[in-house]
Chains A and B, each alone.
Chain A
Amino acid sequence: MLLGLALAGPAASANELTVNVSDNQGQPARNVVVVATPKAPVSAPARSPTMVEMDQVDRQFAPYVLAIQTGTRVLFSNNDSVAHQVYSFSPPKRFELALYHGKPREPVLFDKPGIVTVGCNIHDNMIGYLYITESPWFGTTASDGVWKARDIPAGEYELQVWTPLLPPHEWLQTQSVVVGETSARASFKLKRGLRPEPVPIKDKRVRDY
């Protein structure tokens, strides 16, 4: 769901949309959320209830940014040896998961679009983001800065990219793209360098929460 892998080959299949995101230096920008929203109604794939996972490894969320469609349930697994206490106070979804190891009791349903920041109430450095969209065409860029949507109906789309690693006034950038009968490409060049991603704490000796 999330990834387009590898570089776009020359033999792109029908109705493929390839979006390339680079930073202000022209370097590939990874973990950037890309959403394609049709400007006129198109036949969208049937929506089925889905569940995805946001893991916790080395006292950090993995992935630390996750794009999902409204109605998705997210399981905040914990694969650390220490317990976590995940919470959000973001308006689209406020929740608190009491201290747990492994799998939480139940997943969290995200039923409103928007941006949700999650944290751990014990490990102050932990921070993760969910980008919740109504559109069925979304994902995050891979390490080559590329995101691909396959079998996307022809039509005009508004493309939006978002990353928490820019100051808020540059969070979102948009452009239009027309998907024809074959393939379409778009590229974004961010106006600034991205801030560093949140770092996992691999050293188990560390305990200055």
Chain B
Amino acid sequence: MRLSCFALAISAWTLSQSALAQDAGSHELTAQIDVRAVAVDSPLDSFAEGGTGQLRFGRDDDGIRLGSVMIDAAGELIETVRYNVTARATGDGDQNPIDLTEAYLEWRPYPSNWLRWKTRVGAFYAPISLENRTVGWDSLYSISSSAINTWLGEELRTIGLETSLTALGATAGRNFDVSVVGSVYAWNDPAGILLFQRGWGIHDRQTALFGELPRPIVMNPSIPNIEFFDEVDHRMGYYAGLEAKISGRHVLRALHYDNRGDTSKRHAREPTWLTRFDALGARLELPHAITAISQYMRGDTAVGPSVDGRGLIIVDFDSWFVLLSQQYGPHRITARYDRMETETVRNARFFDSNQDADAWTAAYLFDLNDHCQLAAEAIQLSGSLRQRAEVGLPASATERLLQLAFRYKY
């Protein structure tokens, strides 16, 4: 079943509600355009064009490019129920010129004691990223997200229900809140395919709910693009996590994800991928307006029927990054190191997914005023991707990208 009528219905309904709303005060509409000047030093085509490059722009992509157009509407439907709808356009020939990336309702009853309960239903990001904190789920610290959070933007979306319970510390004199979060969802059966074929990437392109990407490695234009948010095996996935927030500024997170994919089930277009991982993260606010973020993710993804149900081909993946960022008035500088690995641990003879790479990212962001931001970013991603051999390319490559973004937000 192609995505969810359910998610569509919710977004259509919330959009109509916001359009009909009389009280503009309880609704916030944000629109942003991001235009880039791009300079690339890479022997590879970008994954966005079906290549094995892991950055958003590859060779021959020098010039002025559209970063994104983003429209976000958020507000109150009734006193404790809010909606949030985000749509993006990335200008690279996706199925729909503009498409939804998130659309959900959130129910937050007023806490009547030290427990706070929040429930989201619709399509949204699982609470893993500690970088993607802005309207539209962009990174606050750079243009491109870390490898981990880039992957969340590419292949993961919760289309279902999430609920969280927070023990509020303030009234008991504690300076920290502790939350547990749990979710059940569907329409995430293809999750893992891009990691399997192309490895980890570093960029800011989020896959829209109805979005598609060309298949890396497969050089046959008659084979259809990858559809990401689809239900194949009719089995719900889940995640469960913990969060601690200390003094309202430091955040610690842990989450276990399992889409419970049945690898014996196959759709006309996509097989089911069984993808499971653990994610850990910490964000610390240090003196001198310095923010330190680190996240770690480790898991595996499997595809194809097998006697033990674990999948015909199994690929382990892990990644971590460390980010340091300092804000000085309207200026922000950020440096990040990403480590990325995938390894086929079962039946590499059928398909050997093996990435061993790292990346350095440096970014400078300057808020001219409340509406305009200038951002500059340099990325060097180097390492090997064994599956490039499938298309006759050397496994090792170094990709360098310099991009200057002008962002206007209204």
Query: Chain A: interface secondary structure?
Result: loop
Known: A89-B113, A99-B79, A164-B173. A199 touches B135 (CB 8 A): no
Query: Which of B104-112, B226-234, B255-263, B333-341 touches A?
Result: B104-112
Indicate if the CB atoms of B247 and A206 lie closer than 8 Å. Answer: no
Is A193 an interface position by the 8 A CB rule? Answer: no
Is B28 an interface position by the 8 A CB rule? Answer: yes
A117 to B285, CA, bound (A): 24
Of residues 80 through 129 on chain A, the ones whose CB sits less than 8 Å from some CB of chain B are 82-83, 85, 87, 89-90, 94, 96, 98-101, 117, 119, 121-122, 124-125, 127, 129
Q: Pick from A83, A205, A207: contact of B26, CB below 8 A.
A: A83
Query: Chain B: interface secondary structure?
Result: loop
> Please, which residue of chain B has its CB at the minimum distance from the CB of A102?
B25
For residue B172, which residues in chain A have a CB less than 8 angstroms away from its CB? 168
A71 CB, min distance to chain B CBs, angstroms: 23
A82 to B80, CA, bound (A): 16
Q: Pick from A127, A129, A166, A206: contact of B133, CB below 8 A.
A: A206
Indicate if the CB atoms of B108 and A199 lie closer than 8 Å. Answer: no
B323 CB, min distance to chain A CBs, angstroms: 15
Indicate if the CB atoms of B247 and A99 lie closer than 8 Å. Answer: no
Is A47 an interface position by the 8 A CB rule? Answer: no
Looking at A96, A166, A195, A205, which has the most chain B CB atoms within 10 Å of its CB?
Answer: A205
For residue B26, which residues in chain A have a CB less than 8 angstroms away from its CB? 83, 99
Interface extent on B, as a size class?
35 or more
Is B370 an interface position by the 8 A CB rule? Answer: yes
A166 CB, min distance to chain B CBs, angstroms: 8
A197 CB, min distance to chain B CBs, angstroms: 9
A195 to B248, CA, bound (A): 11
Is B170 an interface position by the 8 A CB rule? Answer: yes
Known: A89-B111, A89-B113. A198 touches B173 (CB 8 A): no
B149 CB, min distance to chain A CBs, angstroms: 12
Indicate if the CB atoms of A164 and B370 lie closer than 8 Å. Answer: no
A136 CB, min distance to chain B CBs, angstroms: 27
Is B249 an interface position by the 8 A CB rule? Answer: yes
A7-34 CB contact bits vs B (8 Å, 1 = yes)? 0000000000000000000000000000
Of residues 11 through 62 on chain A, the ones whose CB sits less than 8 Å from some CB of chain B are none
Indicate if the CB atoms of B170 and A206 lie closer than 8 Å. Answer: no
Of residues 98 through 135 on chain B, the ones whose CB sits less than 8 Å from some CB of chain A are 108, 110-114, 116, 133-135
Indicate if the CB atoms of B134 and A207 lie closer than 8 Å. Answer: yes
Indicate if the CB atoms of B79 and A196 lie closer than 8 Å. Answer: no
Is B76 an interface position by the 8 A CB rule? Answer: yes
For residue B28, which residues in chain A have a CB less than 8 angstroms away from its CB? 82-83
A169 to B172, CA, bound (A): 10
Q: Pick from B25, B166, B174: contact of A100, CB below 8 A.
A: B25
A164 CB, min distance to chain B CBs, angstroms: 7
Known: A90-B171, A99-B76. A205 touches B140 (CB 8 A): yes
Is B310 an interface position by the 8 A CB rule? Answer: no
Known: A117-B170, A205-B135, A208-B133. A196 touches B140 (CB 8 A): no
For residue B175, which residues in chain A have a CB less than 8 angstroms away from its CB? 165, 195
For residue A171, which residues in chain B have a CB less than 8 angstroms away from its CB? 173
Q: What are some 7 contacts across the A-B interface (CB < 8 A)?
A: A83-B28, A87-B110, A89-B110, A99-B25, A119-B168, A164-B170, A199-B248
- Besides A100-B25, A164-B173, A199-B285, 5 other A-B contacts (C-beta < 8 A): A121-B80, A121-B111, A168-B173, A196-B247, A206-B133
- Nearest first, the 9 A-B pairs at minimum CB distance are A168-B173, A208-B133, A205-B134, A125-B248, A117-B171, A207-B135, A101-B25, A87-B110, A195-B175
Q: Identify the B interface with A (CB < 8 A).
A: 25-26, 28, 76, 79-80, 82, 108, 110-114, 116, 133-135, 140, 166, 168, 170-175, 177, 245, 247-249, 285, 327, 370, 373
